[in-house]
Amino acid sequence: MNGDAWTLRYEGLDPAEVGLREALCAVGNGYFVTRAAAPEASADGIHYPGTYLAGCYHRASSTVHGRTVVNEDLVNGPNWLPLTFRAAGERGRDGGEDEGPWFGEPGFAVLDQRLEFDLRHAVLTRRRRCRDGAGRTTDVIQRVFAHMGRPHLGVLVTQLTPVDWSGTVEIRSGLEGRVVNDGVARYRGLTSRHLFPAGQGAKGEVIRLQVATEDSGLQIGLAARTRLRSGDSALHPDAVDLLDVAGRVDRVFTVAVRQGRTLTLEKTVALFTSRDGRAAEPAASASELVADVEDTAVLERQHRLHWQELWRRCRVGADFEGAGTVHLYILHLLQTFSANSVDLDVGLPARGLHGEAYRGHVFWDELFILPYFHRHLPELSRAVLRYRYRRLDRARRNAAAAGRRGAMFPWQSGSDGGEETQELHLNPRSGRWLPDRSRLQHHVGSAVAYNVWLYHRVTGDQQFLSHAGAEVVLEVARFWADAAEYDEALGRYRIRGVVGPDEYHDGYPWSSRPGLDDNAYTNVMASWTLHTARELLAELPAYRRAELLERLGVDGAELAGWDRIAHRLHVPFHDGVISQFDGYERLEELDWAALRARHGDIRRLDRILEAEGDSVNRYRASKQADVLMLWYLFTPAEVRRLLTGLGYRVDLDLMERTVDYYLARTSHGSTLSAVVHAWVLARRDRRASWRFFREAVAADVHDIQGGTTAEGVHLGAMAGVVDLLERCYSGLSLRRDALVLDPVLPPQLGQLDLTLHYHGHGDVLVRLAHRHASITVPPGTAPPIHVVIRGTEATLRAGEVVRVDLPGG
């Protein structure tokens, strides 16, 4: 990352990098995120303006290969940034034309550019020098932010300084509603238009625009106020006009400018949607808000204060050369989901609200994200878990439709919790549309259960457990119990026809039946869920336990069945390691070296092989960590307990052998893979762990999956990086009875500073260095906490500090 630890900086113009910069410099506040497209730009193959409002999905049907498919997309909302200018009414120095192109149009050159994203305050500054066809040079500085404290507001402040000319300038400041979802090349064969003009106009200083889906199910309304200033005084333009075509509205100002004197344009925009639950139509709410909102300097001050507050709670201070990237990733987590998201009933989209990849859907990635929220902003975790809870009934119906009991959470979730995984996907390498069986990743249900359990363990939030969490876990447990079939010959229960986290394998090469049998990760997680359901039930107050069991109709016989299954699920083994699924050993070895020699980057093995007429299903080759996920979610001792609980004899080297085995057979086609590998290697091969950690750090800033970041950031990997620092290398465990640290700081990491939320203390400071560790509890009224640092125990009251030397360094 260029810049210091608090600034992401890009110098110069590089058309190939525009998309990446737009995603990485996007501004957002959990209500909406706006890509960092240049305000004068439209979608032209290089730039891609995008504003995505949390939870604003729309379902549309498309025809692919004569088949009708329905997809639900996160809708690209109206672009609120448009702002451009041109000189008018005076001749340029070289006697050129009076009225040339607008800034952004061909013939108006941008000479240089510097982008600076202030990560402390989430304010993006873009500086450019430009020259029009008549040779007039103008400096343009623009600041943009999405107000963190007032989620409906976006602000763009533009400063224009004529460098070598004086004259008259025309300025156009507008709202663009003629937008489509066109950000992902491989979706271009599908319906892309979701929004249509639904009203617009102007009143006084304010312009407004409303768009809606064809069925009006979703409406988005915007209003903008643009004010002009010269120095500290308001400037009254010579003329103000309105440009008004269906779906687009602009204010046009004409004003005199003088060489060297800066003209400031303050554009404040409000965004509302029909999801906000207000009586007025969204554009009316927006107009009302911007009409008399404070000026942009006041709004920016408020916004900055909110971020200062956030960073106090959320900062992870890591002393290494990627520290700035860690700040950037935390910022994007908080821009995607914040206190502003809590009441919106939205989930955590895997690719943020930064682009259209994966259609803004929610996968299992919150498994990688929530641990960070649990520690810093548990109210956000709770909101994400409630998004799932509110869709529990839908998950029950999903299960029923599949002939199962309990709850089956969808692999891809959008607005209502139905299964949103596409039925066909395009392999861009071969141009073929292929059946998509990834919806068989039922392990997502265990991830939801795990998130409930970890949230409860870290926060002790008994109320959530009692009123929502336990019910979710029980229903997922019930689903697994029903999915498990007893195999007489084996004397064990089996779960057939699923896909594990390694979604490259979606069936056996010798069978046309979709899915695999006994994915080890799925089965162990099913066993864990069944055990955990019992454990959580036991922790509920008796009256609540009785109510839940009665309401769900779970009786003693059913619970006894769960116990039986939890202890007798099948986990396949071969060659002394856990098999990824039953029959794995029958697959062929892949010639990795030959494939690498032929293709270089082979992360997307599935696409490469399919394009060659082959199938990845034939090989021992994984997209990402699958079996190894077990050691990501659990300690080695816990994995051993789970396996011995299932009746398997586990020697101490099983983990080592299994890690080595799959490490040699994984292409890392998902950014999540590096996170998990860094984690499982942290305590046995520190160098390799650091290599994977660095790869996870690079994932988005260096776009290592080849162009995917421009389509949306990878929130799971972003959070995974932070979590590796906070939980893995520190050996941090926030147990109910103690805050435990067992650090293994990689040599490349200097000091690590963590600020945690623990047992009612907001800012517990953990400082880890190679030779010592300390914990400081802030003054306050919360009860004392118990801490254990590499075996040394202490009880700390509010305002106390403990420091422990770490022998061996």
The residues that touch ligand BGC, with contacts defined as CB under 6 A, are 350, 358, 363-365, 501, 503, 623-624, 670, 672, 716
Query: How deeply is 421 buried, as exposed, middle or buried, from its count of CB atoms within 10 A (0-12, 13-18, 19+)?
Result: buried
Q: Which residue, 363 or 521, has its beta carbon nearer to ligand BGC?
A: 363
Q: Which residue, 521 or 758, has its beta carbon nearer to ligand BGC?
A: 521
Min dist. Cβ of residue 514 to ligand BGC (A): 17
Taking each continuous run of H as one helix and of E as one strand, the counts in the chain are 21, 33
CA distance 227 to 234: 8
Residues 6+ away with beta carbon under 8 Å from 217: 58, 274
Question: Tokens for 462?
Answer: 């008994």
Tokens 């010579």: give the residue: 238
Min dist. Cβ of residue 24 to ligand BGC (A): 17
Min dist. Cβ of residue 171 to ligand BGC (A): 41
Min dist. Cβ of residue 354 to ligand BGC (A): 13
Question: Tokens for 475?
Answer: 């229903």
Question: Tokens for 529?
Answer: 């869920």
Q: What are phi and psi of 422, to 5 degrees?
A: -65, 155
Min dist. Cβ of residue 594 to ligand BGC (A): 25
Min dist. Cβ of residue 715 to ligand BGC (A): 8
Q: Which residue, 281 or 695, has its beta carbon nearer to ligand BGC?
A: 695
Nearest Cα to 719, choosing from 696, 739, 742? 696
Decide: 629 and 623 in contact? Cβ < 8 Å: no
Pairing of strands 772-776, 801-805: antiparallel
Long-range (24+ apart) CB contacts under 8 A made by 513-519 are 514/437, 514/440, 515/437, 515/440, 516/581, 516/582, 516/583, 517/581, 517/582, 517/583, 518/494, 518/570, 518/571, 518/572, 518/581, 518/582, 519/443, 519/495, 519/580, 519/581, 519/626
Min dist. Cβ of residue 364 to ligand BGC (A): 5
Q: Which residue, 492 or 623, has its beta carbon nearer to ligand BGC?
A: 623
Catalytic residue among 116, 281, 356, 503: 503
Q: Which residue, 533 or 630, has its beta carbon nearer to ligand BGC?
A: 630
Q: Which residue, 117 or 358, has its beta carbon nearer to ligand BGC?
A: 358
Angle at 348 between CA 343 and CA 354, to 5 degrees: 105
Q: Which residue, 160 or 369, has its beta carbon nearer to ligand BGC?
A: 369
Decide: 605 and 595 in contact? Cβ < 8 Å: yes
Decide: 403 and 415 in contact? Cβ < 8 Å: no
Please give the full DSSP string across 415-442, using - where no structure is assigned: SSSS----SEEEETTTTEEEE--GGG-T
The strands making up 51-64's β-sheet, listed across from edge to edge, are 27-28, 32-34, 51-64, 67-76
Give yes or no: 488 in active site: no
Which amino acid would we find at residue 92?
A: G
- Alpha-carbon radius of gyration of the chain: 28
Min dist. Cβ of residue 699 to ligand BGC (A): 11
Question: Tokens for 581?
Answer: 């699924």
Min dist. Cβ of residue 522 to ligand BGC (A): 13
Q: Which residue, 78 or 360, has its beta carbon nearer to ligand BGC?
A: 360
Q: Which residue, 253 or 363, has its beta carbon nearer to ligand BGC?
A: 363
CA distance 52 to 56: 7
CA distance 501 to 479: 18
Q: Please give the positions annotated as active site.
A: 503
